[in-house]
């Protein structure tokens, strides 16, 4: 609880005690009025000042004006306890609102703590502590255990565990070692790391996240825009209606003005639109906070609302559904053991740092004896020729085998094939594939369970590779061998197939995905390994590389929309009933207090539920 909230709560408690004392004191006449005026000044003085200040600035019709007119009018009619009670309970409602907003902000505000206070820069062999904004690309920074990583970069020395929970929501630390890319905002837990900076602070991951969070409230949903417009016209209408209620019936029926003035004041208290104006934005704010707590940044409540209406999701393949890294999937030898064929391939590819060569060496898992390899010759676009243990060995694609007139069996495997031949005789092939992410299957299953009508994949890969991935993940459709411009064309076709109210989301991570992310109704970027262009173009950023987070944020959006609808029905329903009763004199000022403050508190507490994502 903030200092401001504690002060307001203390003022409410003091006023409540004095209010009870004023009712119990055996004082009448001017003395009774004086006691209640003191209590009223303590609990409602700030509201009167706000109303007066707003009137001077031309902002007449707001809740401060309604509360001031209603309570001052009650005092004029001699209803001192009722006048103080309205202001007291109104302040209780305001406190609940303030507390709820603080609670909703807390999960988002935790992201603000990811901003590093300093960076240890290595200069002339000495560590110098500077502001992260002063560090340049190419500088070397040292991060000690317990410190926050100040800028994006590449680890050059050291091994450590990294706490990424503030960015990704993951509780399990990630390992970091030399050669690995690392992002700012995470906490170094165990070892000392030396990092070469690759981005200035303004372009770093932490700076972009902070910018997204700060701007999230600027993009309002349709529901919020409706409530804003509704309140703009609703408040002056009810003030005019209350004035007419106070004047016309006495003139037409000859009844006393005091009766209808009291009803008009009750009508004003009932009509205050606090429950709607407060709870709707708060619900969306809570939903965005809940999403950020699970490692998903939503750039505005309009996108959170749109996610609930999504019926088609289109995926990029590499880096989104697959890891974007190669691994040996099968070994098919001819007249030798699979381990022997893999060993020969690892020696032939020893000199290369190409991802395919690295995957073969990783699968081999043993130290390569470079003394066994001589006369290495790279054949561009084909492969490599080398002498291993005195035998001429070829390792490469089918074009290399055809060029050297070596008869080989074309394979139907969906992946990159490395064929090998020894002394002019075909020895077999190794199939290398981009690995599917562990939770991609789960993601597709959960999305379909969440009501997604169609799942599609767009990829530039060969048809056999794309169709195999689509089949394993049980996607509804896969378009393969696409250029970036082709992806936009296919997306346009798919957008034409969705319903009028339905939305289409595209999920990608690469720089060539930016045009498609922009064109889709909702662009979702995989932020863990995603490019800056993709993250910039996207409306939703997943700070991990887990596609299953998409289903989770969709559940959050649907829950948030359900809470918004509940609050709208509750507020309008109760107010409508009590307004009618108040106009006919059947609702007291106490009923008016409940219809305003009571409904507001219930709606606010309901809105806080959007923050709770544990059950999702």
What is the rounded distance in angstroms from the CA atom of residue 281 to the CA atom of residue 304? Answer: 12
DSSP state of 190: S
Q: 505 near 520, Cβ under 8 Å?
A: yes
Token pair 């507020």 is found at 571
Q: Which of 50, 80, 82, 78 is nearest to 63 (CA)?
A: 50
Q: Which residues pair with 506 in a beta bridge?
A: 314, 523
Buried b (16+ CB within 10 A) or exposed e, 39-71: bbebbbeebbebbeebeeeeeebbbbbbbbbbb
Q: Strands 126-130, 119-123: parallel, antiparallel or unpaired by DSSP?
A: antiparallel
What is the rounded distance in angstroms from the CA atom of residue 48 to the CA atom of residue 539? Answer: 42
Q: How far is CA 143 from CA 121, 155, 359, in A?
A: 9, 10, 31
Q: CB within 8 A of 291, min separation 6: which ones?
A: 297, 298, 304, 553, 556, 613
Backbone angles phi, psi at 185, to 5 degrees: 95, -20
CA angle 15, 231, 562 (to 5 degrees): 90
Residue 139: count other Cβ atoms within 10 Å of its Cβ.
18
Q: Is 132 in a helix, a strand, or coil?
A: helix
Q: CB within 8 A of 297, min separation 6: which ones?
A: 209, 212, 213, 216, 291, 527, 540, 541, 543
What is the rounded distance in angstroms from the CA atom of residue 70 to the CA atom of residue 270? Answer: 10
Whats the size of the chain, residue-wise? 616
What is the rounded distance in angstroms from the CA atom of residue 203 to the CA atom of residue 182? Answer: 14
> Which residue in the list 62, 163, 316, 434 is annotated as catalytic?
316
- Burial of residue 410, with CB atoms counted within 10 A of its CB: 0-12 exposed, 13-18 middle, 19 or more buried: exposed
- Burial of residue 584, with CB atoms counted within 10 A of its CB: 0-12 exposed, 13-18 middle, 19 or more buried: exposed
Token pair 């690469």 is found at 510
Structure tokens at 121: 């820069």
What is the rounded distance in angstroms from the CA atom of residue 490 to the CA atom of residue 474? Answer: 20
- Please report how the helices 301-308 and 222-253 are oriented relative to each other, as an axis angle in degrees rounded to 10: 100
Q: 601 near 96, Cβ under 8 Å?
A: yes
DSSP state of 412: -
Residue 506: count other Cβ atoms within 10 Å of its Cβ.
31
Annotated active-site residue 316? The verdict is yes
Q: Which residues are catalytic?
A: 316
């Amino acid at each position: 609880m903030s200092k401001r909230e504690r002060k307001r709560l203390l003022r409410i408690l003091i006023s409540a005690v004095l209010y009870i004392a004023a009712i119990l004191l055996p004082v009448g006449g001017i003395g009774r009025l004086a006691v209640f005026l003191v209590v009223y000044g303590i609990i409602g003085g700030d509201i009167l000042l706000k109303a007066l200040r707003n009137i001077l600035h031309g902002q007449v019709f707001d809740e401060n004006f309604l509360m001031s007119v209603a309570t001052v009018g009650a005092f004029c009619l001699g209803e001192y306890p009722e006048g103080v009670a309205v202001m007291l309970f109104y302040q209780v409602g305001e406190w609940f609102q303030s507390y709820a907003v603080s609670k909703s902000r807390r999960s988002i505000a935790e992201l603000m703590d990811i901003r590093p206070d300093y960076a240890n820069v290595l200069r002339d062999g000495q560590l110098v502590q500077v502001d992260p904004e002063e560090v340049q690309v190419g500088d070397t920074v040292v991060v000690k255990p317990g410190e926050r990583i100040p800028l994006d970069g590449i680890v050059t020395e050291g091994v450590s565990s990294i706490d990424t929970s503030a960015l990704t929501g993951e509780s399990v630390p990630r390992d970091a070692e030399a050669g690995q890319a690392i992002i700012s905002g995470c906490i170094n837990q165990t070892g000392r790391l030396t990092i070469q900076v690759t981005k200035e602070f303004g372009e770093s991951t932490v700076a972009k996240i902070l910018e997204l969070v700060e701007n999230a409230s600027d993009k309002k949903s349709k529901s919020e825009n409706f409530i804003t417009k509704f309140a703009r016209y609703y408040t002056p209408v009810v003030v005019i209606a209350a004035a007419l209620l106070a004047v016309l019936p006495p003139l037409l029926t000859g009844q006393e003005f005091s009766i209808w003035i009291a009803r008009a004041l009750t009508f004003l208290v009932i009509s205050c639109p606090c429950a709607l104006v407060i709870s709707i934005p708060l619900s969306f704010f809570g939903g965005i906070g809940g999403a950020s707590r699970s490692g998903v940044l939503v750039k505005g409540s309009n996108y959170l609302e749109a996610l609930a209406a999504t019926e088609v999701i289109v995926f990029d393949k590499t880096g989104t559904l697959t890891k974007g890294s190669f691994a040996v999937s099968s070994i098919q030898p001819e007249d030798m053991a699979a381990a022997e064929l893999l060993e020969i391939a690892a020696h032939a590819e020893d000199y290369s740092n190409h991802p395919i060569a690295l995957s073969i060496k990783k699968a081999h898992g043993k130290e390569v004896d470079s003394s066994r390899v001589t006369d290495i010759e790279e054949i561009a676009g084909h492969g490599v020729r080398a002498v291993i243990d005195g035998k001429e060995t070829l390792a490469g694609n089918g074009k290399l085998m055809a060029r050297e007139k070596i008869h080989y069996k074309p394979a139907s495997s969906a992946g990159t094939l490395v064929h090998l031949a020894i002394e002019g005789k075909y020895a077999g092939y190794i199939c290398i594939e981009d690995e599917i992410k562990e939770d991609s299957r789960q993601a597709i299953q959960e999305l379909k369970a969440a009501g997604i009508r169609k799942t599609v994949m767009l990829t530039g890969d060969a048809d056999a590779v794309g169709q195999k991935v689509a089949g394993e993940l049980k996607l509804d459709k896969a378009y393969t061998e696409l250029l970036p411009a082709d992806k936009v064309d296919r997306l346009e076709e798919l957008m034409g197939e969705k319903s009028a109210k339905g939305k289409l989301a595209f999920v990608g991570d690469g720089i060539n995905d930016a045009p498609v992310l922009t064109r889709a109704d909702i662009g979702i970027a995989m932020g863990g390994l995603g490019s800056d262009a993709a993250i910039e173009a996207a409306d939703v950023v997943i700070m991990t590389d887990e596609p299953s987070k998409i289903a989770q944020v969709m559940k959050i959006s649907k829950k948030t929309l359900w809470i918004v609808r509940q609050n709208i029905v509750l507020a309008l329903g109760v107010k409508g009933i009590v307004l009618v009763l108040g106009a006919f004199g059947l609702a007291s000022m106490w009923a008016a207090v409940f219809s305003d403050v009571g409904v507001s508190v219930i709606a606010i507490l309901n809105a806080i539920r959007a923050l709770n994502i544990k059950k999702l």
